[in-house]
Amino acid sequence: MAAIGADEGYGHDDKPAFFARWFYSTNHKDIGTLYLIFAIFSGIIGGFLSFAMRAELAQPGIQIFHDLHTYNVFVSMHGLIMIFFMVMPAVIGGFGNWFVPLMIGAPDMAFPRMNNLSFWLLPVALICLIISFFVQGSASGNGFGGGWVMYPPLSTIGSPGPSFDFIIIGLLAAGFSSIFGAINFITTILNMRAPGMTIHKMPLFAWSVLVTAFLLLLALPVLAAALFMLMGDRVEGGTGFFDPARGGDPEMFQHLFWFFGHPEVYIMILPAFGIVSHVVSTFSKKPIFGYLGMAYAMVAIGVVGFVVWAHHMYTVGMDVNLKAYFLAATLVIAVPTGVKIFSWLATMWGGSISFSIPMQWALAFIFLFVIGGVTGVVLANAGIDTALHDTYYVVAHFHYVLSMGAVFGIFCGFTYWFGKMFGVLYNKYLAALHFWTFFVGVNIIFFPQHFLGMQGMPRRYVDYPEEFALYNEISSWGAALTGVSVIFFFVWVIEALIVRRKAPDNYWGEYANTLEWTLSSPPPYHQFNTLPVYKDEDHH
Amino acid sequence: MAGHAVEHDYHLIPPSPWPFLSGCACLIWGLGMVTFFTGLVQRTGDSPMLEFFFARGLDTIQGREGAGGGWIILAFGCAFAAYVMFAWWRDVIREAEAGDHTPVVEIGLRYGMIMFIMQEAMFFVGWFWMFFEAGLFNKARAKWDTSILTNAPAYADSIAPGITAINPWHLPLMNTLILLLSGTTVTWAHHALIHNDRKAAKWGLGLTVGLGIFFTFLQVIEYAEAYAHRESGAPWLSTDIYGSTFFLATGFHGLHVLIGTIFLAVCLGLVLKGKFRPEKHFGFEAAAWYWHFVDVVWLFLFAFVYIIFGFSI
Amino acid sequence: MRLISKVALTLTSLMMSGIAMASQPKDGKIGFQEAVTPVMEELIRFHHSFVFPVIVAITIFVMALMIYIMVRFNEKANPVPSKTTHHVGLEVAWTLVPILILLVMVVPSMKLLYMQDRLPTTEMTIKVVGHTWHWEYQYPELEDKVEGFESYLLKKEDALAAGKPYLLGTDAPLVVPVDTKVKVIVTSQANLHSFSVPSFGVKMDAVPGRLNETWFQVNPGKEGTYYGQCSELCGIRHAFMPIEVKVVSKSDFHRWVNNGGSFSTNVAQANIAAPAAAPK
Ligand code: HEA
Ligand code: HEA
Ligand code: CUA
Ligand SMILES: [Cu+2]
């Protein structure tokens, strides 16, 4: 095993030279690594912004953002960067690129060159967003402060400066990056599976990426159209899509945005589902329970996810019957999601669980995602949502599914595949330190925010009445702890990269039985020059 | 999993500069877009050099005095992007000739093209959604609050100040026929190619490209008319929601016609150079698929934007 | 399972106690602000007596299962893993049970929704216009008596002087009579805003070019001052356009109307604000 790759195809020695390898890359593993580095970089920026916000909110009164506008800019940028430049690149671009081809036994992605285009559009997009920080936004200052949802009129007449134009360009670039990525993944998965691997024997992570890719393919173009409309409205003497004085309707943007926006949230969580499935199975030493149910639950989530968007718009003055429909449709999603949760539990049931680092992340993921999910169900009830909409209850909800769902999924995959990707093992005590501080930290940040929300504290507030002081202070302390924890993350990564304990091919044992574990760690520059023949031992 | 030589038919590509350069082109293009539509600096006059390049380029189009070269960056970005695409596709064609496109790779290309057309379709779904929402509920919205909606227009009364809606039975009908005809000619070319009748293939493709160009030409005339007849000084794109949807929906369709035409033209060039074999000509098929897609979108535009809503009053 | 529902109930009651008599946010409290309208009462009832217990039960159920699994099925306790990967009964169960729970949930949820949304025959109308960044209140039916007025945030020192909470208190509260079905028409002049009064169970976006309707009826005996805040991002001073509603007895309200929108000083003080007097 270990021998293979040493001198096949492009062996280790005839890897392209540094510049060609990292800038002109057509290798899915290198591109995946680029994505991961990019995601970590964005994570630092997005994290920094959020910590600044928490510092501001630590107590009533204005601490940092004396011009008020900059706070809104931070909030908006935090949301955009975390979603488009941290989570998506990490789970889809990073892990997807690295492990979809390996898991399905393919030598590379279907369109290696387009794959690299998908990546290079992202730095371009991020540069645009960073520029937008420093150029005229609204009359009140630099940067765009209209929230990550970019509702007009705040994003049209509300911010006339070039700042928001840069954000439009940036999001268009990021959007097309994801669209090309989606085309690539769909083609790869449908067309390049190893002989014998039928779609129903495909590992669940590949399934999750397949569903995610379809969501991207169908949701993002609508966002692109909406962004072009904003562009047109911003041009002087331009269009009037969202301008009531010209027969337009600001609310129409919200429909277009959320038609993309809701699938987007499942785009962020589905790959995490896939990762967690493998981790749970590996460390319970059992095959995944109810494989087909798991796969089709994700399909169901994807499909239903397209018809629930207006649950973000319960208070805009929609017709009550429409609200009733979206209420019912939204509740439906709880069912397939429940199937996944319980299937994970059933996979562990009767297993022989070893609590290694990835498993700890996975267990925490399951529990915290359930909390975030059920608060989502509360919000889905349009009646209750009138009390909770645009309060910190919503903030708490989506951080439980994002900052604890998606991000825990990311760390879970990162700790699971670290040795496979970089060929070195990490110190599990340092990694555990990172896990526990992060786990405690984020819960301290976001659990009290439920109470703030029910007491009525609105979102996107730079300053709040003394009545909200206590929980805000607790939350900010939690943020401080989380900040320290992010440092621990870098500590264990750097330690592992410096000490270089060689990772064996399969360091998790026989139950890590997807194809990537049959290769060396790290895998040869070009794997599967002879396609593996997939014999079914009911392992998914 | 022993064995060292590559024993599969997939297409592994050596490192390529084009994706990275596309990124650079995209960055310049984006900078150009912002400069053109909004401008990075105000025109104050105290740093002429900067303002020449970075003040709003739109002023040039609108013929403001003192307007500078705000369009230059955008133009450069587009040129750069065009070059990269050219080079990229040249590589693809070379690989195709080198026989890299094995059957399995070609299936992949088909998947890819289908997915790409799907996402294009969703893009237009966005525009039609906007269009129908505005079309069906516009009058209702106009009644909500007249104190705020002083001049809420009856939908589609005018596509631009001073012009009533374009009569669908003139240029638009013409365009419809043109596109339908081009749909048939491209199919003719395809069959000719399959039966290795190069001459007919050339004719079919040539005609298709010609019709495509003719369509664009008529669209330009239509816009020019609309622009010329508008009240002087009125907003140059449109005044009301119908005008907005009209111009951007048809505009983006026009853009796709242009892309399709270029795509077909490239294929024509290849046919003239004697490329494409009866059993293997996916490049051509992709172009044809795309062309049919553009055609269908137009039929929707014609039926709804021009006839049902545009012409009802 | 009984244990679970017990815990859920105790938590619920805890939240109930938490919210006792909060006509404005109270520090360190969990749960909603006090409900003073039928809608908000219904909302809280639905949440506390159904949705919340259900989600707590589900969360605790999952947590309990996980703890049991971790204790019972870890390497030491269970060295040899089982091989089961299918159990039709189970899979059907955990699909059907959630469906049932949701079916039961959807009924009262719809009831609440329609109660909120379907306006009863209202007795008076107020029009709320969101400005960047303050609120304007109009009484269309009483126009000849009360002219519309604008309501601004009170500066910190003024708020303290007037004995109102900073960032909630305004110079000119919206005045409404108790026990009256009030129709609220919400619109905006430039940006999006959202008119929200937690204790009333009211939150309605203010959208330019659009007249949104909602309603409330303050229960008898609930005269007093209630606070809310703009709940849709509207730009730089989004956090600084609070909503203050002064609910008075019907007789006081008539006096207020007849005095052209001001109380004779003995009733209240901090609200003789004609638009002119409004600080910028
Ligand atoms: C990863 C991202 C993610 C995920 C997975 C979800 C999942 C869900 N979300 Fe969330 N949501 C967001 C990200 C996400 N959301 C974001 C970012 C926002 C705010 C956007 C903004 O305004 O800025 C938001 C806002 C948001 C709103 C709007 C709130 C408001 O603005 O007023 C609503 C309302 O319906 C909602 C509902 C739901 C529901 C019902 C689910 C469901 O999918 C949850 C399903 C899961 C479970 C239910 C738990 C597991 C199931 C079981 C254990 C079975 C048994 C359970 C039952 C029978 C109930 N979400
Ligand atoms: C994935 C999305 C995501 C993530 C992870 C976070 C993480 C955090 N968010 Fe986030 N937040 C949003 C998405 C996210 N947020 C969105 C969409 C909004 C709404 C914006 C709007 O209103 O418009 C929001 C709004 C928001 C608010 C409300 C602001 C307001 O309304 O006024 C607050 C306030 O406390 C907050 C705080 C935090 C904090 C303290 C964290 C901490 O958890 C941060 C800790 C740091 C990290 C989690 C980064 C670590 C990750 C890496 C270093 C990368 C690792 C990568 C690999 C290993 C490959 N956020
Ligand atoms: Cu007004 Cu927010
Ligand atoms: Cu949603």
Smallest CA-to-CA distance from A539 within A353, A282, A223 is with: A282
The single-letter DSSP state of residue A141 is E
Q: How far is A539 from chain C (nearest CA, A)?
A: 10
Give the one of A317, A345, A456 whose C-beta lies nearest to C198's C-beta.
A456
**pLDDT of A206 over the 90 cut:** yes
Task: Please report all neighbours of C, defined by 3+ CB atom pairs within 8 A.
Answer: A, B
Q: Listing from the earlier edge strand, what are the strands of the sheet with C182-188? A: C149-151, C134-138, C124-131, C182-188, C212-216
Contact assessment for residue B105 and residue B278, using Cβ atoms and an 8 Å cutoff: no
Atom of ligand 1 nearest to the CA of A388: 32
**Rounded distance, CA A206 to CA A190, Å?**
10
**Rounded distance, CA B274 to CA B196, Å?**
11
**Rounded distance, CA C32 to CA B84, Å?**
59
**pLDDT of A366 over the 50 cut:** yes
Q: Average of pLDDT values for C48-72?
A: 95
User: What's the token pair of residue A394?
Assistant: 């919503």
Q: How far is A16 from chain B (nearest CA, A)?
A: 8
Smallest CA-to-CA distance from B123 within A249, A322, A217 is with: A217
Of B223 and A405, more confident: A405
pLDDT band at B165 (very low <50, low <70, confident <90, very high): low
Residues with Cβ within 8 Å of A487's Cβ and at least 6 positions away in sequence, in order, are: none
Q: What is the DSSP string of A469-489?
A: HHHHHHHHHHHHHHHHHHHHH
The share of chain C scoring above pLDDT 70, in percent, equals 85
Among protein residues, the one with the nearest Cα to ligand 2's atom 12 is A79
Q: Which residue has the tokens 């299936």?
A: B107
User: What's the token pair of residue A53?
Assistant: 């916000």
Half-sphere exposure of A229 (CA within 13 A, CB side): 38
Residue A56 CA to ligand 1 center (angstroms) comes to 27
Contact: C187, B141; criterion CB under 8 Å: no
Ligand nearest to the CA of A52: 2
List the single range of A422-431, B143-152, B154-163, C16-25 with lowest mean pLDDT.
B143-152
Contact: B141, C209; criterion CB under 8 Å: yes
Mean pLDDT computed over every residue of chain A:
92
Q: Is C153 in the pocket of ligand 3 (CB under 6 A)?
A: no
**pLDDT of A5 over the 50 cut:** no
pLDDT band at B236 (very low <50, low <70, confident <90, very high): low
Q: What angle do CA C232, A452, C215 make, to 5 degrees?
A: 50
Smallest CA-to-CA distance from B247 within A233, A154, A64 is with: A233
Ligand nearest to the CA of A267: 1
Residue A262 CA to ligand 4 center (angstroms) comes to 4
What is the model's pLDDT at position A7? 38
What is the model's pLDDT at position B228? 74
**pLDDT of C262 over the 60 cut:** yes
Which residue in chain B has the smallest CA separation from C186?
A: B145
pLDDT band at A531 (very low <50, low <70, confident <90, very high): confident
What is the model's pLDDT at position B190? 94
What is the model's pLDDT at position B226? 77
Q: Which residue has the tokens 């953002």?
A: A65
Residue B282 CA to ligand 1 center (angstroms) comes to 44
pLDDT digits (tens, 9 = 90+) for A217-248: 999 999 999 999 999 999 877 888 898 877 78
Provide residues with CB under 6 Å of ligand 2: A 36, 39-40, 43-44, 47, 50, 53-54, 75-76, 78-79, 82-83, 86-87, 90, 94, 147-148, 395, 399, 402-403, 406-407, 410-411, 414, 442, 445, 459-461, 479, 482, 486
> Exposed/middle/buried for A321, CB within 10 Å: 0-12, 13-18, 19+?
exposed
**pLDDT of B227 over the 80 cut:** no
Which SS3 state, helix, strand or coil, does residue C232 take?
coil
Q: Is C230 in the pocket of ligand 3 (CB under 6 A)?
A: yes
pLDDT digits (tens, 9 = 90+) for B35-72: 998 888 887 777 888 888 888 888 777 767 667 778 89
Q: Which whole-number Å values give the CA distances from A415 to A277, A361, A424, A511, C113, in the listed order? A: 14, 9, 11, 16, 45
Ligand nearest to the CA of C241: 3
Task: Tell me which chain C residues have a C-beta less than 8 angstroms from the C-beta of A289.
Answer: 84-87
Contact: A113, B243; criterion CB under 8 Å: no
What is the model's pLDDT at position B169? 82
What is the model's pLDDT at position A487? 96
Which residue in chain A has the smallest CA separation from C39?
A: A383
Which ipTM was obtained for this model?
A: 0.92
The share of chain B scoring above pLDDT 90, in percent, equals 51
Of A113 and B147, more confident: A113
pLDDT band at C25 (very low <50, low <70, confident <90, very high): confident
Q: Which residue has the tokens 């959807």?
A: C106
Of B51 and A408, more confident: A408
pLDDT digits (tens, 9 = 90+) for A87-145: 999 999 999 999 999 999 999 999 999 999 999 999 999 999 999 999 988 888 899 99
Residues of A assigned a catalytic role: 78, 108, 148, 177-178, 262, 264, 266, 277, 311-312, 337, 340, 459
Contact assessment for residue A176 and residue A113, using Cβ atoms and an 8 Å cutoff: no
Contact: B149, C211; criterion CB under 8 Å: no
Q: Is C186 in the pocket of ligand 3 (CB under 6 A)?
A: no
Q: What is the DSSP string of A146-203?
A: STTTT-TTTTTTT--SHHHHHHHHHHHHHHHHHHHHHHHHHHHHHH-PPTT--GGGS-
Q: Average of pLDDT values for C158-185?
A: 91
Q: Which residue has the tokens 């070059």?
A: B83
pLDDT band at C276 (very low <50, low <70, confident <90, very high): very low
Which amino acid, residue B127?
W
**pLDDT of B128 over the 80 cut:** yes
- Please provide the distance, in angstroms rounded to a whole number, between the alpha carbons at the two ends of chain A: 22
**Rounded distance, CA C164 to CA C149, Å?**
20
Residue A75 CA to ligand 2 center (angstroms) comes to 9
Best A243, A381, A450, A513 residue to mutate vs chain C (most C CBs within 10 Å): A381
Contact assessment for residue A470 and residue A476, using Cβ atoms and an 8 Å cutoff: no
pLDDT band at A537 (very low <50, low <70, confident <90, very high): low
Residue C251 CA to ligand 3 center (angstroms) comes to 33
pLDDT band at B205 (very low <50, low <70, confident <90, very high): very high
Q: Average of pLDDT values for A39-66?
A: 95
User: What's the token pair of residue B17?
Assistant: 């500069």
